[in-house]
Amino acid sequence: MFNKFFSFLKTIFYIANFVLISLYIFPGSILGWLFYGNAGLQPQITSDFLVSSNHVYAFILLSILGYFSYEKTKLSFLFIYLFCLAICLEILHLVIPNRGFEFSDLFGNLLGVILIYFYYLVKKYLFKRIDEK
């Protein structure tokens, strides 16, 4: 039962990767085109505060899916992958037409990954020490 669930979760993680990469490399905003009929507009979930909130949410979701998909196996590889993906996708905006590199987006990507990585570290080290007492 659990193997089927984790297999399904991995499939969702791979689909989320594909969707996120597609959204990032499209020259313009697919979501703006779908919602507003204008690829030049970007929907905003919440207002930004120092970092892009949309990017934080996207990478938190992707990191959570990856974390639960690979919780028992390759977490160190997963977080390295997510950090590299966060950086590479934003750097690609330097060469993709109608897209622009922004540090607030990059930091939003990284913050989304770091928050889930921090949760992983706390769970792994802090709760392990509490259980040992």
What's the confidence (pLDDT) of residue 125? 83
Choose among 111, 109, 65: nearest CA to 91. Answer: 109
**Tens digits of per-residue pLDDT, 90-133?**
999 999 998 889 999 999 999 999 999 999 988 888 776 665 55
Tokens of 58: 């996207």
**Tens digits of per-residue pLDDT, 19-64?**
999 999 998 888 888 888 888 777 777 787 889 999 999 999 999 9
Contact 79, 67 (CB under 8 A): no
Contacts 24+ apart (CB under 8 A), 69-76: 69/6, 69/9, 69/10, 69/12, 69/13, 70/10, 75/120
Which CA distances in Å does 113 have to 26, 54, 80, 83, 129?
A: 22, 13, 10, 7, 24
What's the confidence (pLDDT) of residue 62? 97
**Boundaries of every domain in the chain:** 2-132
